[in-house]
Amino acid sequence: MPLSALRSHLRPTLNLAYPVMLSQLGHVLVNVCDSMVVGQTGKVALAAVSLSVSVCTVVMVFGMGLAMGITPLVAAADGRRDVAELGRLLVNGVWLCTVAGVVLGGLGLLLPPFLPYLQQEPAVAALAAPWIRVIFLSLLPLMVFQGFKQFAEGLGLTRQAMLLSVQANLLNAFLCYAMVFGKFGFPEMGMIGAAWATVIARTLMAVLMAAYVLVAVRVRPYREAAALNLWPDAAGLHRLLGLGSPIGVQMMFEMGAFSFSAIMIGWLGATELAAHQIAINVASVTYMAASGIAAAATIRVGKLRGSGHPEEARQAGFASYVITFAFMSLMGLLLIVGRHYIPQYYNHDPAVIAQAASLLLIAAAFQVSDGLQVVGLGALRGLEDVKIPSVVALLAYWAAALPLGYVLGFPLGMGATGVWLGLLTGLTLVAGLLLLRFRHRSQMLAKAHLNEVVAIVR
C-alpha cells in the first residue's frame, strides 16, 4: 500500500496512541521501579523479583487481554452511535473485569507452594514466595481499572488513563523507595515493601479511573443507559468472553514463553536470572510503548469498520505498522548504544552487568519484530479477528521459540544468550504471519464492502 494513502491516518493514530503508550508504560514502569530499587539490595533479591514477575505476569496479562475485548466492541458501537449497546458494554465490561480480578488475585495464595518445583536457587524461591502473595492482591484493583479504562479508550478517551498512570507511578516510586529502605517514617520492609507499594498505587488507579468514567460529561449518555440495568446479561458477557478470552490466551502464550525462558535461565544461577530481569525489564518498556500504538490501531480500525469504511480501516491498520516500524527501529539503536550503561542502574555486580549487556544486544535485534507483532494483534482486534492469532502465538512461541531456545541454551552451551535467540525467532515468526493475516483479512472486508456498494448501485 503506498505511503500517500496512509498519510491522513498518521496524525489521528498518533494522537490516540501517545496517551495510551504512556498509560501502558505505567504497568511496566511499576516493575521497572521495583527492579531498580530492589536490585540495589543484591542480585539474589533481583533474581527473586524476576521469578515473581515471571509468575505474576502470565496471570496478569490474561486478565488484561480479557479486558481488551471491551475496546473494539465499544469502538464499533461508537461508530454506529449505538447508545444502548454502549451502556450494556459498560455494565458487562466492569462486571467481567471485577470478577476476573477476584479469581486471578486468589491464585496468589495457590502458586507459592509450587515454586520449589521450578528448580530455582532455594534462596531465590524463598524470597519470591511472600512477594507473589502480596503482588497478586493488586490484580483486583488492576482489573477494575482495566474495565473502566478499556471502555473509555474505546470511545477515544485515552488521555485520562495516561494521566492516572503517571500519577500512580510517581506514588509507586515514592512508596517503593520509602518502604524498601525505611525512609520518610515508613518501616524498613526490604523487597516486600515494593510489592505493597504496587498494591497501594494500583488501588488508587482503580478508584480514580472509576470516578472519571462515572462523572465525565462525555460518558453521561452511556451511564444513563447503563443505569437502566446494573446487572450483567448473559449474552453480553458471552460476547465479551468470546472476544477477550482468545486475546488473553494469546497474551498468556507470549508472556508465558518469556516467563518460562526466565525459569530456564534460573537453572543457570542467580547471576543469569538477575541479568535476564534487567534485559527483559528494559525490553518491556519499548514493548509497552508499541502496545500503545497497537491499542490505537484497535480503536481506529474498529471504529472505521463499524461506521462502514473498511478500506479506511485497512489504511489505518497499515499506518500503525509504519509508525511502529519507525519507532521500534529507533529503540533498537538506543539499546545498542546504551547496553553497557543501562544495567548499572539496576545492579553493580560486574558479572550481572556483562550478561545483561549481551542480552540487551539481542533485545535490540528483536525490537522491530516485537513491535510489528503487537501492532498486528491490535489491528486484527479492530477487525474482531482474535482466534487465529492465538493459534499463531501458540505455535510460534511454544513449538518453535522455546524448544529452539532450550537447544541453543543447554545442549549447545550458549546459556542465557541461546534462550534469548529462541525468543527472537518466535517474535519474528509471529510478526510476519500476523502481517500476512491482517493484509488478507482487511482486503477481504474491503472487497466485500465494495461488492455490496456496486450491487446497491445496480
**CB of 165 within 8 A of CB of 22?**
yes
The per-residue pLDDT of the chain, averaged, comes to 86
DSSP string, 310-375: HHHHHHHHHHHHHHHHHHHHHHHHHHHHHTTTGGGGT---HHHHHHHHHHHHHHHHTHHHHHHHHH
CA distance linking residue 360 with residue 366, whole number of Å: 10
* Residue written as grid cell 521501579: 33
Q: How many CB atoms lie within 10 A of CB 450?
A: 12
Encode pLDDT of 330-363 as tens digits. Answer: 999 999 999 999 999 888 888 999 999 999 999 9
DSSP 258: H
| Helix%, strand%, coil% for the chain, nearest 5 | 85, 0, 15
Question: Who's near 312: CB < 8 A, 6+ residues apart?
Answer: 9, 304
Residue 425 is predicted with a pLDDT of 92
Report the pLDDT averaged over residues 210-220: 89
Residue 243 is predicted with a pLDDT of 87
Report the pLDDT averaged over residues 382-392: 85
Residue 251 is predicted with a pLDDT of 82
Residue 358 is predicted with a pLDDT of 94
Residue 371 is predicted with a pLDDT of 92
CA atoms within 13 A on the CB side of 115: 29
Residue 364 is predicted with a pLDDT of 93
Encode pLDDT of 228-268 as tens digits. Answer: 888 999 888 999 998 888 888 878 887 888 888 888 998 98
**CB of 273 within 8 A of CB of 50?**
yes
pLDDT band at 392 (very low <50, low <70, confident <90, very high): confident
DSSP 185: T
pLDDT band at 218 (very low <50, low <70, confident <90, very high): confident
The answer to whether the pTM exceeds 0.85 is no
Residue 95: pLDDT above 80? yes
Lowest mean pLDDT among 10-24, 110-124, 335-349: 10-24
Where do runs of H (alpha helix) occur along 81-215? 83-106, 122-135, 139-154, 159-181, 192-215
Residue 3 is predicted with a pLDDT of 62
Residue 457 is predicted with a pLDDT of 57
CA distance linking residue 399 with residue 415, whole number of Å: 20
Encode pLDDT of 180-193 as tens digits. Answer: 889 988 988 888 89
Report the pLDDT averaged over residues 30-51: 74
Residue 289 is predicted with a pLDDT of 79
Residue 27: pLDDT above 70? no
Residue 253 is predicted with a pLDDT of 81
* Residue written as grid cell 449474552: 235
Residue 36 is predicted with a pLDDT of 73
Amino acid in position 305 = R
Between 420 and 127, the more confident residue is 420
Residue 412 is predicted with a pLDDT of 93
Lowest mean pLDDT among 131-140, 278-287, 403-412: 278-287
CA distance linking residue 48 with residue 51, whole number of Å: 5
Q: For residue 181, give Cα distances in angstroms to 168, 191, 194.
A: 20, 9, 10
Encode pLDDT of 293-337 as tens digits. Answer: 888 898 888 888 888 888 888 888 999 999 999 999 999 999 999
